[in-house]
């Protein structure tokens, strides 16, 4: 809980540590009531220290201090004092061994940070500042140490004892205890420490690295889950090979362990050689897991594995540099997933997340740069900005440098900084040094928050055969940053002619005859206003802009409707084709909103319907792309484009259009549904996933027609994979079919012993768009399968209702807001990280109409008035109320 004045930490105040810890030796006695931790730290003054102070300040939170000794001498009371989260020892020698005993209570730890218990097993989560809940330490990432760990526990209750590195000894002790000792040769910051003790089963495999070393791979789970580990294991081996082939990165120990736990605040954690995962990100089998679930497992397993280099071997100097490891690693895992499946589909999914969640964050009260300059609680900065926008920043460097120079930059970065704790600046510098590309202006992407807006106008001069792109950029103010300097924006373009892409010849730039493809180029947009003139353009082209979503910006262009239809039908860039479909869909929504306001019925434009029909009948195009292009822009995306947001009007307009599309295209939708059905054995291959996605997109449209309900029922009853079954359940739950309650009951009966499937059961109900959903959610909170201590359950029910069910969350009586505030107040003590994360939808109150704003604000004020707010909740609520 926070002290009276929660303080703000600033990047500009960074100082190197006064002391270093060369060796960390830990001993854990895991007990049923409490755990005793003994730490022996081999410490010395940092030769680079900036102060002459001889006092030592260690971090510690919620610890019971049992004893403290320096070089074997117990420290008398007056030699140290405790102030909040700091233990200050007034005078220490130049070099010494500090021995410290503490008692902690993992069984009572509900924050899931530090050492805690989940389904009977002990586990840890130390990032970012959780190690201080285990023992007193220099809990900052620039203090790196070699760890030796001894674990002592009851042999029957905790047969498996794990920590980082290699196991160097195991031993049976008296009183039913046993002991195991671990040594990790790689110096690491405390946030990468991990310990696991429990009754666990495992699947094992091995991997031979590029230099021929054998690595043992183990995935530890509860015995009942052993049949759901194969996909994670295959993903791990694919990721290990991919990192060797694409980045030249080899694994560096003989052992790599993954452990799955039920209660986990995030997706997974990259602890050195002992990754700890949320079960939702490891376990998968066709009967219980959707295609999206399979892909998430693959992506998260790869992400955590890739951290071994981008995060562990080279780590962050301080938490302001979080994107150094997260942005780079998300970029790496996105490229991996693209290579394992469909690159365009993966790109469109990532862009969708960015344009909804990240753009919203950038426009809201918690907006911050990819490298923030201040925070109250670092846990609040594991955000879509640091992760996803951070990955876009790395992607832009890749685009500006080209693949080979980027790889050279990456090699230089790892060679130069191996074993160090470094900054985003060090990363950019390595990229610059290896490539010779000047990234000085580009660095603003790290320091300026907000989403840049690009306005482009295209003009063709037939006489001069010239095509001019006039580009202006601007960026809205964000908290603490009123004015922004122009960004360096890589704008990837092509010019589409009647028969394909035209050769590009930029005025004032020598013709590049070397490259094979001169029909696509990256324009360096660097000024507030800029013109690019293309010469020898023989026909009036349609500009294909921001290809592959080459920069995380909002783009507007003076397109004609025919231009968008042409891009949608024939651009070679998949992202641009999809984006054109979204722009056309947006135009339909705007029409429907206008019609609605005038009390008229909305009609879908015939050319849009024709384009949709063409898509449905196109057997050449990837069915997954067809499915994505058939979707109207999501309500979340529309909320970023229309201001102020009227949730109900948007929902109504979108529903009316969906019905219009379904009615007009019944036959092609049915044909596509039948074409995509298959009774092949399930595989999570790109090809099968694509077919299922189109089939289920067609089903969701057909639900607006008389054919849908029977199809949904049939699919629900006969499908053997969870993708089709849960898509059918979702369709049924959102319909008025009387069958609904039977279906829900049957699903529960079938899967009551699979917690991850029950989460899906909670989630479909929480996301139901029909009236009465909040009442149902409240009822489900008392269901025996619900557990407010389990983050996955909270996310499935409360998180999904508040964050992904806009019509119901924003019900006009304000009940949704009060419900969320109640949940936040409840969780504030139990689990501050989860409480704070739930606040997202409420904190963005300023984008709604005035009456709505007032209701939302009232709930935020109610939370702020609570006593003992955690720093996590306090930061989000206070910042969102600040004017």
- Contacts with Zn ion, residue ranges (CB under 5 A): 326, 329
286, burial (CB in 10 Å: exposed 0-12, middle 13-18, buried 19+) = middle
State yes or no: residue 735 binds ligand TRP (CB under 6 A): no
Residue 468's DSSP bridge partners are 459, 533
> Beta strand 421-422 with 315-316: parallel, antiparallel or unpaired?
parallel
- Indicate the residue among 329 and 790 with the shorter CB distance to Zn ion: 329
* Site stretch for ligand TRP (CB under 6 A), options 264-272, 616-624, 646-654, 754-762: 264-272
- Indicate the residue among 270 and 571 with the shorter CB distance to ligand TRP: 270
d(CA 663, CA 817): 36
* Site stretch for ligand TRP (CB under 6 A), options 48-56, 124-132, 572-580, 793-801: 124-132
State yes or no: residue 578 binds ligand TRP (CB under 6 A): no
Q: Which does 442 bind (CB under 5 to 8 A by kind): Zn ion, ligand TRP, none?
A: none
* E-strand stretches of 487-562: 489-497, 500-501, 521-525, 529-534, 542-545, 554-557
- How many chain residues interact with ligand TRP (CB under 6 A)? 13
- Indicate the residue among 150 and 872 with the shorter CB distance to ligand TRP: 872
* Site stretch for ligand TRP (CB under 6 A), options 67-75, 267-275, 351-359, 867-875: 267-275
**Backbone phi and psi for residue 813, each to the nearest 5 degrees, phi listed first:** -80, 0
Describe the crossing of helices 343-353 and 574-597 by its angle, rounded to 10 degrees.
Answer: 40
**Smallest Cα–Cα separation from 106: which of 77, 133, 142, 84?**
133
| DSSP annotation string for 786-822 | --TT-HHHHIIIIIHHHHH-HHHHT-TTSHHHHHHHH
Q: How far is the CB of 357 from Zn ion (least distance, A)?
A: 17
Q: Please give the residues from 466 up to 525 whose contact with ligand TRP meets the rule CB under 6 A.
A: none
- Indicate the residue among 387 and 751 with the shorter CB distance to ligand TRP: 387
Q: How far is the CB of 127 from ligand TRP (least distance, A)?
A: 5
Residues 337-376 as x/- pattern, contact with ligand TRP by CB under 6 A:
----------------------------------------
Q: Which does 836 bind (CB under 5 to 8 A by kind): ligand TRP, Zn ion, none?
A: none
Q: Is residue 214 reached through a cis peptide bond, with omega within 30 degrees of 0 on the bond before it?
A: no
d(CA 865, CA 821): 12
- Neighbour count for residue 768 (Cβ, 10 Å): 22
**Smallest Cα–Cα separation from 424: which of 328, 554, 339, 545?**
328
Q: Give yes or no for a contact between 236 and 214, defined as CB atoms under 8 angstroms apart.
A: no
State yes or no: residue 128 binds ligand TRP (CB under 6 A): yes
- Indicate the residue among 265 and 773 with the shorter CB distance to ligand TRP: 265
> Beta strand 166-172 with 9-10: parallel, antiparallel or unpaired?
unpaired
- Indicate the residue among 128 and 565 with the shorter CB distance to ligand TRP: 128
With residue 461 as reference, give the H or E element that holds it: strand 453-461
- Indicate the residue among 266 and 798 with the shorter CB distance to ligand TRP: 266
60, burial (CB in 10 Å: exposed 0-12, middle 13-18, buried 19+) = buried
> Beta strand 453-461 with 554-557: parallel, antiparallel or unpaired?
parallel
Q: Give yes or no for a contact between 813 and 852, defined as CB atoms under 8 angstroms apart.
A: no
* Site stretch for ligand TRP (CB under 6 A), options 8-16, 123-131, 249-257, 419-427: 123-131
- Indicate the residue among 324 and 733 with the shorter CB distance to ligand TRP: 324
> Beta strand 56-59 with 86-89: parallel, antiparallel or unpaired?
antiparallel
**How far, in whole angstroms, is CA 218 from its chain's centroid?**
25
Tokens of 742: 């039977």
Of 304, 571, 588, 635, the one binding ligand TRP (CB under 6 A) is: 304
* Site stretch for ligand TRP (CB under 6 A), options 48-56, 74-82, 266-274, 503-511: 266-274
Q: Please give the residues from 398 up to 457 whose contact with ligand TRP meets the rule CB under 6 A.
A: none
Please list, in sequence order, all residues whose beta carbon lies within 8 angstroms of the beta carbon of residue 483, skipping any fewer than 6 positions away: 477
Q: How far is the CB of 265 from Zn ion (least distance, A)?
A: 13
Residue nearest to ligand TRP (CB): 266
**Backbone phi and psi for residue 414, each to the nearest 5 degrees, phi listed first:** -70, -40
| DSSP annotation string for 626-673 | HHHHHSPPPHHHHHHHSSSB-HHHHHHHHHHHHHHHHHHTHHHHHHHH
State yes or no: residue 268 binds ligand TRP (CB under 6 A): yes
**Backbone phi and psi for residue 334, each to the nearest 5 degrees, phi listed first:** -65, -40
Q: How far is the CB of 327 from ligand TRP (least distance, A)?
A: 11
Q: How far is the CB of 154 from ligand TRP (least distance, A)?
A: 27
State yes or no: residue 774 binds ligand TRP (CB under 6 A): no
Report the sign of the C-alpha dihedral through residues 103, 105, 106, 112, in that order: negative
* Site stretch for ligand TRP (CB under 6 A), options 121-129, 346-354, 762-770, 783-791: 121-129
Q: Which does 794 bind (CB under 5 to 8 A by kind): Zn ion, ligand TRP, none?
A: none
What torsion, rounded to 10 degrees, do the Cα atoms 536, 538, 544, 547 define?
Answer: -40
- Indicate the residue among 139 and 588 with the shorter CB distance to ligand TRP: 139
Q: How far is the CB of 307 from Zn ion (least distance, A)?
A: 6
Q: How far is the CB of 326 from ligand TRP (least distance, A)?
A: 6
Q: How far is the CB of 327 from Zn ion (least distance, A)?
A: 9
Of 25, 125, 279, 383, the one binding ligand TRP (CB under 6 A) is: 125
* Site stretch for ligand TRP (CB under 6 A), options 28-36, 125-133, 647-655, 838-846: 125-133
Instruction: Indicate the SS3 state at residue 595.
Output: helix
d(CA 843, CA 839): 6
- Indicate the residue among 233 and 391 with the shorter CB distance to Zn ion: 391
Q: How far is the CB of 317 from Zn ion (least distance, A)?
A: 17
Q: How far is the CB of 379 from ligand TRP (least distance, A)?
A: 5
Q: Which does 388 bind (CB under 5 to 8 A by kind): Zn ion, ligand TRP, none?
A: none
Q: Which does 125 bind (CB under 5 to 8 A by kind): Zn ion, ligand TRP, none?
A: ligand TRP
Of 266, 543, 555, 636, the one binding ligand TRP (CB under 6 A) is: 266
* Site stretch for ligand TRP (CB under 6 A), options 122-130, 479-487, 729-737, 864-872: 122-130
> Beta strand 195-198 with 201-208: parallel, antiparallel or unpaired?
unpaired
Q: How far is the CB of 816 from ligand TRP (least distance, A)?
A: 27
Q: Which residue in 150, 222, 270, 304 is the catalytic one?
A: 304
Please list, in sequence order, all residues whose beta carbon lies within 8 angstroms of the beta carbon of residue 326, skipping any fewer than 6 positions away: 311, 382, 386, 387, 390, 391
Q: Give yes or no for a contact between 569 and 611, defined as CB atoms under 8 angstroms apart.
A: yes
Q: How far is the CB of 143 from ligand TRP (least distance, A)?
A: 18
Q: Which does 266 bind (CB under 5 to 8 A by kind): ligand TRP, Zn ion, none?
A: ligand TRP
- For this structure, is 600 an active site residue? no
Q: Which does 268 bind (CB under 5 to 8 A by kind): ligand TRP, Zn ion, none?
A: ligand TRP
Of 262, 270, 361, 377, the one binding ligand TRP (CB under 6 A) is: 270
Q: Please give the residues from 376 up to 395 whose contact with ligand TRP meets the rule CB under 6 A.
A: 379, 382
Q: How far is the CB of 128 from ligand TRP (least distance, A)?
A: 6
* E-strand stretches of 7-91: 9-10, 19-30, 35-45, 56-59, 64-70, 73-74, 80-83, 86-89
Tokens of 649: 């009007």
Residues in the chain, overall count: 883
Q: Please give the residues from 322 up to 341 whose contact with ligand TRP meets the rule CB under 6 A.
A: 326
d(CA 97, CA 489): 52
d(CA 70, CA 68): 7
State yes or no: residue 275 binds ligand TRP (CB under 6 A): no
Tokens of 252: 């560096």
- SS3 annotation, 248-295: CCCCCCCEEEEEEECCCCCCEECCCCEEEEEHHHCCCCCCCCCHHHHH
Which positions touch ligand TRP (CB under 6 A)?
A: 125, 127-128, 265-266, 268-270, 303-304, 326, 379, 382
| Catalytic sites, residue numbers | 304
């Amino acid at each position: 809980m926070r002290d009276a004045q929660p303080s703000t930490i600033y990047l500009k105040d960074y100082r190197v540590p006064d002391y270093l810890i060369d060796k960390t030796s830990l001993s854990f006695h895991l007990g049923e009531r409490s755990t005793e931790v003994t730490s022996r730290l081999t410490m010395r003054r940092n030769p680079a220290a900036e102060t002459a102070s001889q006092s030592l300040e260690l971090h510690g939170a919620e610890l019971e201090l049992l004893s403290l000794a320096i070089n074997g001498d117990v420290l008398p009371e007056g030699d140290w004092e405790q102030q909040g989260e700091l233990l200050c020892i007034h005078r220490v020698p130049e070099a010494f061994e500090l021995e410290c005993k503490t008692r902690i209570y993992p069984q009572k730890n509900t924050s899931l940070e530090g050492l805690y218990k989940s389904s009977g097993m002990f586990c840890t989560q130390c990032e970012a500042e959780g190690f201080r809940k285990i023992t007193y330490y220099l809990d900052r990432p620039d203090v790196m140490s070699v760890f030796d760990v001894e674990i002592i526990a009851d042999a029957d209750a905790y047969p498996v004892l794990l920590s980082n590195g290699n196991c160097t000894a195991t031993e049976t002790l008296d009183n039913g205890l046993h002991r195991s000792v671990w040594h990790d040769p790689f110096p690491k910051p405390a946030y990468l420490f991990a310990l696991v003790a429990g009754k666990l089963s495992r699947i094992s495999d091995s991997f031979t690295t590029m230099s021929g070393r054998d690595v043992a791979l183990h995935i530890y789970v509860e015995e009942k889950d052993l049949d759901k580990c194969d996909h994670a294991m295959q993903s791990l081996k694919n990721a290990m090979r991919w990192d060797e082939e694409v980045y030249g990165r080899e694994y560096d120990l003989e052992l790599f362990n993954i452990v799955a736990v039920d209660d986990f605040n995030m997706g997974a954690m990259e602890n050195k050689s002992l990754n700890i995962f949320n079960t939702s990100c490891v376990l998968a089998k066709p009967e219980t897991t959707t295609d999206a679930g399979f892909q998430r497992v693959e992506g998260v397993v790869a992400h955590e594995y890739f951290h071994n280099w981008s995060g562990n071997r080279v780590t962050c100097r301080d938490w302001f540099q979080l994107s150094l490891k997260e942005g780079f690693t998300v970029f790496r895992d996105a490229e991996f997933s693209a290579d394992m499946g469909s690159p365009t589909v993966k790109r469109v999914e990532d862009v969708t997340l960015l344009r909804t969640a990240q753009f919203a964050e950038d426009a809201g009260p918690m907006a911050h740069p990819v490298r923030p300059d201040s925070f109250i609680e670092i846990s609040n900065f594991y955000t879509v900005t640091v992760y996803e926008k951070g990955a876009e920043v790395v992607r832009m460097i890749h685009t500006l440098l080209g693949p080979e120079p980027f790889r050279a930059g990456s090699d230089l970065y790892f060679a130069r900084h191996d074993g160090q704790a470094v900054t985003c600046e060090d990363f950019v510098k390595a990229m610059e040094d290896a490539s010779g590309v000047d990234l000085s202006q580009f660095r603003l992407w790290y320091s300026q928050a907000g989403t840049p807006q690009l306005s482009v106008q295209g003009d063709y001069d037939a006489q001069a055969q010239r095509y001019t792109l006039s580009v202006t950029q601007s960026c809205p103010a964000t908290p603490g940053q009123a004015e922004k300097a122009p960004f360096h924006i890589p704008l990837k373009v092509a010019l589409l002619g009647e028969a394909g892409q035209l050769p590009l010849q930029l005025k004032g730039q020598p013709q590049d005859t070397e490259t094979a493809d001169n029909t696509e180029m990256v324009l360096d947009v660097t000024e507030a206003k800029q013109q690019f003139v293309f010469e020898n353009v023989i026909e009036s082209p349609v500009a294909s802009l921001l290809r592959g979503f080459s920069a995380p910006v909002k783009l507007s262009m003076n397109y004609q409707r025919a231009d968008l239809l042409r891009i949608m039908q024939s651009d070679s860039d998949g992202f641009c084709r999809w984006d054109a479909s979204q722009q056309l869909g947006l135009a339909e929504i705007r029409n429907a909103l206008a019609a609605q306001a005038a009390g008229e019925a909305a009609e879908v434009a015939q050319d849009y319907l024709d384009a949709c029909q063409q898509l449905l009948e196109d057997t050449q195009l990837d069915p997954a792309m067809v499915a994505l292009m058939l979707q109207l822009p999501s309500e979340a995306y529309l909320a970023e484009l229309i201001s102020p947001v009227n949730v109900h009007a948007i929902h109504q307009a979108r529903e009316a259009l969906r019905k219009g599309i379904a009615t007009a295209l019944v036959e092609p939708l049915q044909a596509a549904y039948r074409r995509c059905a298959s009774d092949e054995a399930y595989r999570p291959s790109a090809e099968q996933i694509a077919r299922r996605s189109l089939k289920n997109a067609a089903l969701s449209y057909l639900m607006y027609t008389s054919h849908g309900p029977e199809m949904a029922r049939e699919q629900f009853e006969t499908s053997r994979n969870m993708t089709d079954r849960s898509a059918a359940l979702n369709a049924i739950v959102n319909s008025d079919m009387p069958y609904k309650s039977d279906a829900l009951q049957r699903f529960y009966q079938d899967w009551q012993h699979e917690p991850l499937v029950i989460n899906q059961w909670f989630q479909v109900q929480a996301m139901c768009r029909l009236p009465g959903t909040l009442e149902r959610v409240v009822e489900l909170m008392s269901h025996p399968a619900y557990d407010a201590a389990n983050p996955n359950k909270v996310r499935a029910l409360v998180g999904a209702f508040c964050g992904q069910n806009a019509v119901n969350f924003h019900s006009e009586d304000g009940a949704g807001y009060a419900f969320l505030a109640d949940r936040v107040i409840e969780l504030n003590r139990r689990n501050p990280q989860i409480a704070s994360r739930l606040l997202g939808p409420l904190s963005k109150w300023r984008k709604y109409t005035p009456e709505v704003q007032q209701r939302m604000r009232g709930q935020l004020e109610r939370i702020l008035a609570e006593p003992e707010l955690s720093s996590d909740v306090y930061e989000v609520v206070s910042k969102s109320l600040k004017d």
